[in-house]
């Protein structure tokens, strides 16, 4: 299957007549497409959740129709999470950005900590921390150069302020940054006026040169760190926070702040939250094959970061996706045996991307090939192993991608199982039970077929629970 991720610009335009052909293609059952929605889609959707707004229901209906129960979220502990959840049942469990100041109210946090300590029967730590912070200076030196910026961020900050005084201003600052359009634009302008603004023609740079050029710009400014290092400096030494999500989204926000393809935020309801949510869309799309983007500035920043983080997701505009649909989606409609013949033929003239010769200690020759299409609409690579001791050949098909192969959606596993049984037959009594175990039981041994001297096994890999299918036969050489 092809995982297709749509940015909000595309989703919100699907209710327009001009987008109906694209919508029909996305819904065409003849193509194996999987279109997930994410927590970023939910954030965008909820912006229009107000009485009398007919577009809210239309957008929700389109998302539900296209995405079904395929949800992508991020968890600090668990990482990327593919869930089976309909949009109407999705209850957002991360911080409501509209109530950000409440969640960062340190008086509230201190009280909450004290209540927790009391319940556990241990001394109250909240007020103890508050007292320590009250007598601890901020260590921030207010100068003529930084006073303007600091005043915007922390209006109550003085040379005599304590850490507790500073913490009191963090919540309101974060709230205004997220929700107040003019505040963010003015804040970004102040950053640019202080010298941190890339040159005006940066929009003409090739995507692969952008980060390098920004790094050079920062060096000229006297900043002895790269663009990505600067964006992630606040958490790079914190193992829990130094995640792909934080590195990617912080870098995206940094690009916007220093003037690379900055979002103009034309609507009165726009704010930094729009920028942050766009960064999340680009992040979630990195776990998909294709990112269909109607927002050109989002597409440009995503392309830059996909190059920087070595992400092979294809970025395409809705017009190009529609006009070149079948070429972009790839091979369809062929049965397994026709495709297998193409794979074997390709291996005879293509050079492997990895090769390990057999040795006396390990008499197994291994060649790895990248497939020109998705075998069974899923597998991207094939490993050809020749075991000279056991005299057996093995072709093992796997799905490999830096981010896409972190997980498999339940629908991908169901489709793979259905295609395998269609090709090789049903060799077990309870089809639904075996299929359910393959999809939901990571420890399931798999399904087996025997066709003459060829042995076929469909199972889940022990190392990552991803599916694989192998063909083994005697080596007569």
DSSP SS3 for 474:
strand
| Sheet order of strands, 2-6 included | 33-34, 2-6, 290-292, 314-316
CB 291 within 8 A of CB 282: yes
DSSP SS3 for 332:
coil
Q: Map tokens 């469909």 to a residue.
A: 458
pTM of the model: 0.83
Q: Which helix (H) or strand (E) holds 337?
A: helix 336-349
CB 252 within 8 A of CB 278: yes
**Domains of the chain: which residue ranges?**
1-94+202-330, 96-179, 336-474
Average pLDDT per block of 10 residues along the chain, 477 residues long: 94 95 90 92 88 87 94 88 86 52 58 64 59 67 70 73 69 72 83 82 91 90 84 74 88 91 87 92 96 97 96 95 88 62 75 91 92 83 91 91 83 91 85 92 88 90 88 84
Look at the chain and count its residues: 477
- Alpha-helical segments (H) within 286-324: 296-308, 318-323
CB 447 within 8 A of CB 438: yes
Nearest Cα residue to 466 out of 395, 394, 396, 413: 413
d(Cα 210, Cα 205) in Å, to the nearest integer? 6
The CA R_g of the chain, rounded to the nearest whole Å, is: 27
d(Cα 209, Cα 308) in Å, to the nearest integer? 10
At 298-356, the pLDDT tens digits run 999 999 999 999 998 999 999 999 999 988 887 655 556 667 777 777 777 778 899 99
At 119-166, the pLDDT tens digits run 666 555 656 555 665 766 767 777 776 677 667 667 777 777 776 676
Q: Which two tokens stand for residue 14?
A: 């699907």
- Secondary structure in 3-state letters for 392-413: EEEEEEECCCCCHHHCCCHHHH
d(Cα 285, Cα 288) in Å, to the nearest integer? 5
Instruction: Look at residue 331 in the predicted model and tell me its pLDDT.
Output: 62
Instruction: Look at residue 34 in the predicted model and tell me its pLDDT.
Output: 94
CB atoms near residue 6 (< 10 Å): 30
CB 439 within 8 A of CB 459: no
d(Cα 14, Cα 62) in Å, to the nearest integer? 7
Instruction: Look at residue 183 in the predicted model and tell me its pLDDT.
Output: 79
CB 305 within 8 A of CB 282: yes
């Amino acid at each position: 299957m092809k995982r297709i991720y749509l940015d909000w610009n595309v989703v919100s335009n699907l209710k327009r007549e001009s987008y109906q052909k694209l919508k029909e293609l996305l819904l065409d059952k003849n193509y194996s497409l999987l279109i997930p929605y994410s927590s970023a889609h939910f954030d965008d959707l909820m912006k229009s959740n107000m009485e009398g707004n007919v577009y809210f229901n239309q957008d929700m209906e389109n998302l539900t129709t296209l995405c079904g129960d395929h949800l992508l979220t991020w968890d600090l502990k668990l990482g990327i999470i593919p869930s089976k959840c309909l949009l109407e049942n999705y209850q957002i469990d991360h911080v409501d950005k509209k109530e950000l100041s409440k969640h960062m109210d340190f008086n509230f946090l201190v009280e909450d900590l004290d209540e927790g300590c009391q319940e556990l029967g241990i001394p109250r730590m909240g007020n103890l921390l508050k007292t320590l912070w009250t007598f601890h200076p901020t260590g921030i030196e207010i100068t003529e150069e930084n006073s303007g910026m600091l005043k915007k961020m922390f209006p109550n900050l003085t040379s005599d302020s304590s850490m507790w005084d500073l913490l009191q201003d963090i919540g309101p600052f974060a709230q205004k940054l997220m929700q107040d359009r003019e505040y963010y634009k003015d804040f970004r302008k102040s950053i640019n006026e202080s010298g941190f603004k890339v040159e005006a023609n940066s929009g003409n740079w090739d995507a692969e040169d952008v980060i390098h050029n920004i790094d050079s710009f920062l060096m000229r400014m006297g900043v002895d760190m790269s663009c990505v290092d600067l964006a992630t400096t606040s958490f790079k030494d914190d193992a829990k926070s130094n995640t792909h999500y934080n590195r990617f989204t912080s870098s995206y926000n940094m690009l916007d702040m220093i003037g690379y393809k900055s979002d103009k935020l034309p609507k009165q309801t726009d704010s930094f939250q729009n920028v942050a949510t766009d960064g999340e869309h680009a992040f979630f799309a990195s776990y998909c094959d294709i990112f269909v983007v109607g927002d050109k500035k989002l597409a440009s920043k995503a392309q830059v970061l996909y190059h920087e983080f070595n992400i092979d997701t294809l970025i395409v505009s809705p017009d190009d996706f529609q006009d070149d649909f079948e070429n972009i989606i790839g091979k369809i409609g062929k049965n397994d045996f026709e495709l297998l013949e193409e794979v074997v033929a390709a291996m005879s003239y293509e050079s492997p991307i990895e090769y390990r010769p057999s040795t006396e200690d390990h008499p197994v020759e291994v060649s790895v090939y990248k497939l020109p299409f998705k075998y069974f609409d899923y597998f991207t690579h094939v490993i050809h192993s020749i075991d000279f001791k056991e005299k057996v050949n093995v072709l093992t098909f796997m799905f490999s991608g830096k981010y896409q192969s972190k997980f498999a959606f339940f629908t991908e596993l169901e489709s793979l199982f259905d295609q395998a049984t269609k090709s090789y037959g049903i060799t077990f009594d309870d089809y639904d039970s075996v299929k359910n175990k393959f999809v939901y039981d990571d420890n399931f041994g798999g399904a087996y077929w025997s066709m003459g001297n060829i042995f076929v096994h469909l199972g889940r890999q022990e190392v990552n629970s991803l599916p694989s299918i192998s063909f083994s036969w005697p080596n007569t050489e």
